[in-house]
Amino acid sequence: MSSPGLLAAEPPRVCARALSSRASVPAAAAKGDDALPELEEARLAAPALHQNDGDDDGDADDEDEYKRVDATGETFLAGSHKLENGLELQDVECRYRTFGTMNEDRTNVLVVCHALTGNAALDDWWGSMLGPGKLFDDSKMFVVCINVLGSCYGTTSPVSINPKTGKPYGRAFPDVTVRDSVSLHLRLVKEHLGAKSVACVVGGSLGGMQTLEWAALGGDFVKAILPMSCGAYHHPWQIAISEAQRQAIYADSNWHGGDYHAHGTYPAQGLSVARAMAMISYRTHAGYGRKFGRRQVKDRAAGQDQERFFQVESYLRHQGAKFVSRFDALSYVKLTRMMDTHDLGRNREGGVEGALHRMTQPTLIVSATTDALYPPEEQQYLHEHLPNSELFTIDTDHGHDGFLLCQEEIIPVARAFLDKHVYGPLNLAQTASS
């Protein structure tokens, strides 16, 4: 599999049209997206973790999708949890949020999986999809969103207290896998919430990897899946991008080999650079050209960094500064490593293809034409080997972020899939809403 080449000059494409091998939706009008508000000077010294910076500058499609830090919700006290590597975590906590009511049969469960730096506050980052009559209809479904293992938003992670020492785990927190996290989430849904089955699992990027593992681990317990912008395993291309970001964090003098908590420091500069690198990988050559051009920062304050000359430079520093105010560097290292170890075929008969062939759940795969991080070839591979799958491709210059930003194109196709495979079998009529 290879990433797409450089895009030739063409008229602006935002989410102008949608293409599918087995489904189609009406063409959507391209959205005007020329102006970029000035961005505040980036702050490279990190505020306290989990402190909301309250910054809402920028166009909607430029905003951090988790701009309101929210670690609220309920906590599943899981006790011990065995990992793939044989280690056991003790006193494991798992943060989650629920929306709606479980039916008497305990079968109307819809699990939504968050991406790399997300949290369980689904109503915040995908609120436009949640509510009566919307795609995730909580008047009919019991919608569950669970924070991943290793995240700093409430589930056991490097910032959690190690019961053996009474201090934060820090760098002693073990490497964890997507499978480790999904096995914990399955326990939550089965043991704690008492579900008899899950009607559908939905997620994009790391959320899509979790979605695939739900199907592989859950078997008949999981009735349908909707993975977006992900692959069956992490390709060397994606591992290289993750490693470059981690190296930026390691190079920060405040990293202290991962012991920065003990030293009272924080590798803000390194984490900010890692975030900037990630933001580039989420978008495209054409999209950045359309969004920023070669426009310069206006009215730079006296003494401002003279290298911050172009708006795209200011944008990346702005995004980095916002990110360090809400995320932990060790969690970022552990979660990017979690993604790198994603491999549906690991320790499964027949490898990747064998695992996919056994995943017989109805599946809708969502792909983006210009996704340079998880290119369309990876979703095509899933489609070819998942026996009961449909592939829907959005034509967009948003790249990997297309699954977040092209909701007008995705929702009609996803709604038709859920009507057929979720609401229909549950005898729940869907009522379309915006």
Report the pLDDT value the prediction gives residue 309, as an integer from 0 to 100. 87
pLDDT band for position 146 (cuts 50, 70, 90): very high
CA distance 383 to 390: 7
Mean pLDDT of 205-212: 99
Report the pLDDT value the prediction gives residue 234, as an integer from 0 to 100. 98
Residues carrying an active site annotation: 205, 371, 400
CA 284, 290, 291, 297 torsion-angle sign: positive
Are the C-beta atoms of 113 and 202 separated by less than 8 Å?
yes
Report the pLDDT value the prediction gives residue 307, as an integer from 0 to 100. 63
Nearest C-alpha neighbor of 228 from the set 115, 68, 95: 115
The first and second tokens of residue 420, run together, are 């057929």
3 versus 293: the higher-pLDDT residue is 293
Q: Is the pLDDT of residue 408 over 60?
A: yes
39 versus 258: the higher-pLDDT residue is 258
Q: What is the pLDDT of residues 322-363, one digit of tens each?
A: 999 999 999 999 999 999 999 999 999 999 999 999 999 999
Report the pLDDT value the prediction gives residue 26, as an integer from 0 to 100. 28
Are the C-beta atoms of 290 and 16 separated by less than 8 Å?
no
CA distance 335 to 269: 19
CA distance 369 to 393: 7
DSSP for 335-387 reads HHHHHHT-BTTTTSTTHHHHHHHT--S-EEEEEETT-SSS-HHHHHHHHHHST
Report the pLDDT value the prediction gives residue 71, as an integer from 0 to 100. 58
pLDDT band for position 10 (cuts 50, 70, 90): very low
- Quickly count helices (H) and strands (E) in the chain: 13, 11
Nearest C-alpha neighbor of 214 from the set 346, 93, 203: 203
Give the three-class secondary structure for 389: strand
Q: Is the pLDDT of residue 104 over 50?
A: yes
Domain count of the fold of the chain: 1
The pairing of beta strand 198-204 with beta strand 109-113:
parallel
* DSSP code of residue 212: H
The first and second tokens of residue 382, run together, are 């899933």
CA distance 220 to 227: 17
CB count within 10 Å of CB 322 equals: 24
CATH number of residue 305's parent domain: 3.40.50.1820
Residue located via tokens 């967009």: 396
Structural domain range at position 393 = 1-24+31-434
CA 253 to centroid of chain Cα atoms: 29
Q: Within 13 Å and on the Cβ side, how many CA atoms surround 160?
A: 22
Burial class (CB in 10 A: 0-12, 13-18, 19+), 2: exposed
Quick one: CA torsion of 340, 179, 159, 94, rounded to 10 degrees?
A: 150
Q: Which helix or strand (DSSP H or E) is residue 394 part of?
A: strand 389-395
The first and second tokens of residue 279, run together, are 């933001």
Q: Is the pLDDT of residue 7 over 80?
A: no
Question: Which of 17-31, 83-97, 257-271, 420-434 is the least confident region?
Answer: 17-31
Share of the chain above pLDDT 70, in %: 80
CA distance 209 to 230: 6
pTM comes to 0.85
* DSSP code of residue 20: E
Mean pLDDT of 52-58: 31
Residue 236: partners with Cβ closer than 8 Å, 6 or more residues away: none
Are the C-beta atoms of 150 and 241 separated by less than 8 Å?
no
Q: What is the pLDDT of residues 289-309, one digit of tens each?
A: 999 999 999 866 655 556 668
